[in-house]
Amino acid sequence: MGIDSLIGGTIWDEYSNKVTNLMNNPQNMGEITEEDAEKMNAKLIVADFGAESCGDAVRLYWAVDPKTDTILESKFKSFGCGTAIASSDTMAELCRGKTVDEAVKITNIDVEFAMRDHADTPAVPPQKMHCSVMAYDVIKKAAAQYKGVDINSFEQEVIVCECARISLSTLQEVIRINDLTTVEQITDYTKAGAFCKSCIRTGGHEIKDVYLVDLLDEYEKEKLSSKASLGNAGAITGDFATMTIVQRIKAVDKVVDENIRQMLVMDGGDMEILDIKENGENFDIYIRYLGSCSGCASSSTGTLFAIENILKEKLSDKIRVLPL
């Protein structure tokens, strides 16, 4: 019985030709022995990594030139499904010829992308994306072994979505800047939650410390807190410097609505707040002019100065307004 008859035509169509070919005919499967490494004047590295979620495992072999840290040869053995074999084979291929530091920068996204037949068509079904994550993790394990460091030293940020390698700080920033309220919106902006979906909420095949729904709840609470800090009577309370980014944006929007926007609309224009960033002791507010304001000569002189002066008076004398 053929593999396609086992998994069915519909699922089979979700695999690229490169993946199906590598499942049956891997190019880099095998091992590197101590004798092989000695012939290349190289150091042998053997690293193992297993995925608790599915029971798959991979063993990575590197022959590394100790003088240049270059990976002269890269092979693997995989104990798992066909997708794990294809991902591991591609991973081994991508490592060869790179330095150890360069190899660590190979992500699971790179592995999956290299297996695509077409740049805009995923190589594997979403539920199999974790196989390329395993390939990414075993690279870190091999690099840590070669360098004699802890594997966690290669991870600088908390990763919420392992499949798309999206960090906690990135998700928090995207949610706030774009005022996202649903998991679907997060996925559209970042690809987090698009693959195995374990990062969305509890109940997936991996246990997380933080889920996407938690970040949405956190942001909603932050918005409610921001509204409370602005006061029911419409007066802005609190020090601009101690506000959260969301509170600052809300405060600036309120001042613009009450003191600036009507002036711009009367002339057929408008403006929007794009971002607020701390720059030393200053608060740089990035804005975009809309309508007739975008082409007005005074948008960079008189109008800009008026907007900046009002915001300084109402919120903070450290504010600078920068049109984009």
| Catalytic sites, residue numbers | 54, 131
Residue type, 322: L
| C-alpha closest to that of 302 among 291, 293, 290, 312 | 293
| DSSP string of 18-86, one letter each residue | HHHHHHHS-SSBS---HHHHHHTT-EEEEEEEE-TTT--EEEEEEEEETTTTEEEEEEEEEES-HHHHH
Q: Which residues contact 271 (CB under 8 A, 6 or more apart)?
A: 256, 260, 261, 264, 287, 288, 289, 290, 293, 307
Q: Contact at 8 Å (CB) between 253 and 247?
A: no
> Strands 319-323, 282-291: parallel, antiparallel or unpaired by DSSP?
parallel
Element (H, E) at 265: helix 261-266
CA angle centred on 108, ends 104 and 112, rounded to 5°: 135
Q: Which residues contact 305 (CB under 8 A, 6 or more apart)?
A: none
| C-alpha closest to that of 150 among 159, 140, 160 | 140
